[in-house]
Structure 1
Amino acid sequence: MLASNASLSGCAELNSALCAGAGEGHPGGGSLRTTLSPTGHLVVAVCLGFIGAFGLLNNLLVLVLFCRYKMLRSPINLLLINISVSDLLVCVLGTPFSFAASTQGRWLIGAEGCVWYGFANSLCIVSLISLAVLSYERYSTMITPTEADSSNYRKTSLGILLSWVYSLLWTLPPLFGWSHYGPEGPGTTCSVDWTAKTANNMSYIICLFVFCLIGPFLVIVYCYGKLLYAIKQVS
């Protein structure tokens, strides 16, 4: 009873729609209580504003340069553009909402907006998958140099498509009941529920960690390790 009252008092600091969704739909979710002071929220808002503005300008500049200079339009650079597009989408579709929430000290766009924010930010794993694809492309070029073709976009396009499909396969399940997206931390951002101890939620977190972090990281380490070893042998 005491725990229930504490949870309800924490929910009062968020909008009623968000609290209703958290309290009724996900009883195993974590607390929604705001843990930051007004000064803390202000500091977070300033950091998010800087990150969002810098990310927006930087990735837009990359896209402009790629479109303007034909010499930059190579398959390998297309993978880098894919990473920029992924980051740009987060800057446009995610960061403004958490920035606005931090300036007010509470989530502002309701439960559905929270789910959208969590999904959009989780989809940024496209960048990590793209880095893994990029490292494999460099590795395959090293072991089969005779097959390398700087004008062949087919393999690169396939890698980009794979990065988005793979990312969607791991970010869509919370929308259909395997774990869920909800508020996190001080209640001004949303993500996968990292705190719920249910089997449903824990199984998703473990799979996400293994297949979307450890897996791509090992691919990157292996491929660049091989490249460094080859360079060392040559030198």
Structure 2
Amino acid sequence: MIVSNVSLSGCAGVNSALCAGPAEGHLGGGSYRTTLTPTGNLIVAVCLGFIGTFGLMNNLLVLVLFCRYKMLRSPINLLLMNISISDLLVCILGTPFSFAASTQGRWLIGDGGCVWYGFANSLFGIVSLISLAVLSYERYSTMIAPTEADSSNYRKISLGITLSWVYSLVWTLPPLFGWSHYGPEGPGTTCSVNWTSKTANNISYIICLFVFCLVVPFLVIVFCYGKLLCAIKQVSGINASMSRKREQRVLFMVVIMVICYLLCWLPYGIMALLAAFGPPGLVTPEASIIPSVLAKTSTVINPVIYVFMNKQFNRCFQALLCCEAPRRGSSLKSSSKVAVRGVAVNGPRRTNDFLIMVASLGQPAAAVPQLGPTFETTIDITKPPSSDTQQPVVVPIVAHIDD
């Protein structure tokens, strides 16, 4: 997790009265005190308590729905589960310790606990970020794939999940072996990468972490969803009203995703760069706690955006509350793509066969959506085209994000 860190090694220069005693202070004592006022600690504790509680509830509910309803067990939903698991681990293994430190006004679990906390939270945070990028790429690759997707094929998604964890380990293990290091962060109630050291060793790590764990995932997300929107615009010639509705819905979702991504993570990146490359004291401990809290809100926001705003998960959630079977939606039965053969009708004469590639960014459902009055659809997608008809023509893709 990319965080802005103001080490307490310069604690005496900030407020010597709040610094730890001879057995405390910087790493080496095992317990060091916060530089925040009691009121400041209380505010941070309330925010962390809210984030930890709702993040835990939201992500646990996602896992319960996934385990409870078989209709949700599709490859792309498995990727959503990976995001929820990483966020859940932050709520279980990270937030409680910073919450306790804020309530007590000091870090409570010592030097080893500080290093472990910094490593674990960085690992789970980067897994979540990379998973979001993999999710956007999966939706984009589904859209441009020339062949029909197999909704039971978990191989590609499994590779994506493995990639997210391996990639995160590649960037979070080095501080344990000498390329930068983990230490107390901000006012001293959390721990993370040391952003303030001006050595070439530390600065090189900060640059790499910023580029490969914040900028690159963001660019992948923007590129893939941008292409998705372009594809939806191109399909307007087939059914204008349906296309406009889907375009507006996908555009809204993409804008929300990008804004929340930037809101949660960009303050971290900016504060980290200011702490690393700015003059000493530019980033105060009090200011650095704000991006730290903002980044943790991603554990609450991610389930809402990527799961509960998804129609199928929402139907299953309502069914869970009402103790009944979830109602079927109007999506195509595929987690990523399905081919539907249709016939364009012009008066009494059939003119052509079309192969409509539908890139579903949601999950499987039962029924085939209506394509409008100019289409006569057939649900049989297993039989090849008749030999006396023309070969199917690939037309622009209809992509939807949460059917």
Compute the TM-score of the two structures, normalised by the length of structure 2.
0.53
Supply the AA of the counterpart residue of 2:222: V
Q: Which residue of 1 aligns with 2:140?
A: 139
Judged with a 3 Å threshold, the aligned counterparts in structure 2 of structure 1 residues 15 and 107 are, in CA distance, closer, same or farther, namely farther
State the Cα distance separating 1:16 from its structure 2 match. 3.0
Q: Which residue of 1 aligns with 2:107?
A: 107
Q: Which residue of 2 aligns with 1:222?
A: 223
Q: Does structure 2 retain, via aligned residues, the 8 Å contact 1:122–1:171?
A: yes
Judged with a 3 Å threshold, the aligned counterparts in structure 2 of structure 1 residues 177 and 151 are, in CA distance, closer, same or farther, namely same
State the Cα distance separating 1:170 from its structure 2 match. 0.3
State the Cα distance separating 1:4 from its structure 2 match. 9.3
Structure 2 matches for 1:74-85, cutoff 5 A? 74-85=74-85
Residues in 2 aligned to 1:219 and 1:14: alpha-carbon distance in whole angstroms: 47
Identity of aligned residues (%): 82
Q: Which runs of 4+ in 1 moved over 2 A?
A: 3-22, 32-35
Structure 2 matches for 1:10-89, cutoff 5 A? 12-13=19-20, 16=23, 19-21=26-28, 34-89=34-89
Residues in 1 aligned to 2:176 and 2:203: alpha-carbon distance in whole angstroms: 16
Residues in 1 aligned to 2:156 and 2:173: alpha-carbon distance in whole angstroms: 26
Answer 1 or 2: which has greater strand percent. Answer: 2
* SS, match of residue 191 in structure 2: strand
Q: Which residue of 2 aligns with 1:179?
A: 180
Residues in 2 aligned to 1:172 and 1:10: alpha-carbon distance in whole angstroms: 35
Mark the structure with the bigger radius of gyration. 2
Q: Across the two proteins, how many residue pairs are aligned to each other?
A: 224
Residues in 2 aligned to 1:107 and 1:142: alpha-carbon distance in whole angstroms: 48
Q: Does structure 1 retain, via aligned residues, the 8 Å contact 2:136–2:220?
A: yes
| Larger RCO: 1 or 2 (CA < 8 Å, sep 6+) | 1
Q: Which residue of 1 aligns with 2:199?
A: 198
State the Cα distance separating 1:9 from its structure 2 match. 3.9
Residues in 2 aligned to 1:71 and 1:4: alpha-carbon distance in whole angstroms: 54
State the Cα distance separating 1:12 from its structure 2 match. 3.8
| Structure 2 unmatched runs, 5+ | 1-9, 237-403
State the Cα distance separating 1:14 from its structure 2 match. 7.2
Q: Which residue of 1 aligns with 2:90?
A: 90
Q: Does structure 1 retain, via aligned residues, the 8 Å contact 2:107–2:190?
A: yes
Q: Does structure 1 retain, via aligned residues, the 8 Å contact 2:12–2:19?
A: no
Residues in 2 aligned to 1:227 and 1:66: alpha-carbon distance in whole angstroms: 26
* SS, match of residue 19 in structure 1: coil
Residues in 1 aligned to 2:204 and 2:58: alpha-carbon distance in whole angstroms: 37
Supply the AA of the counterpart residue of 1:100: A
* SS, match of residue 151 in structure 2: coil
Residues in 1 aligned to 2:134 and 2:21: alpha-carbon distance in whole angstroms: 40
**CA distances 1:167-219 after superposition (whole Å, capped 9, x unpaired):** 00000100110000101111001010111111111100000000111111111
State the Cα distance separating 1:7 from its structure 2 match. 7.7
Judged with a 3 Å threshold, the aligned counterparts in structure 2 of structure 1 residues 49 and 15 are, in CA distance, closer, same or farther, namely farther
Structure 2 matches for 1:149-168, cutoff 5 A? 149-168=150-169
* SS, match of residue 147 in structure 2: helix
Judged with a 3 Å threshold, the aligned counterparts in structure 2 of structure 1 residues 205 and 11 are, in CA distance, closer, same or farther, namely farther
| Structure 1 unmatched runs, 5+ | 23-31
State the Cα distance separating 1:35 from its structure 2 match. 3.0
Q: Does structure 1 retain, via aligned residues, the 8 Å contact 2:26–2:184?
A: no
What's the C-alpha RMSD, in Å, of the aligned pairs? 2.1
Supply the AA of the counterpart residue of 2:185: E
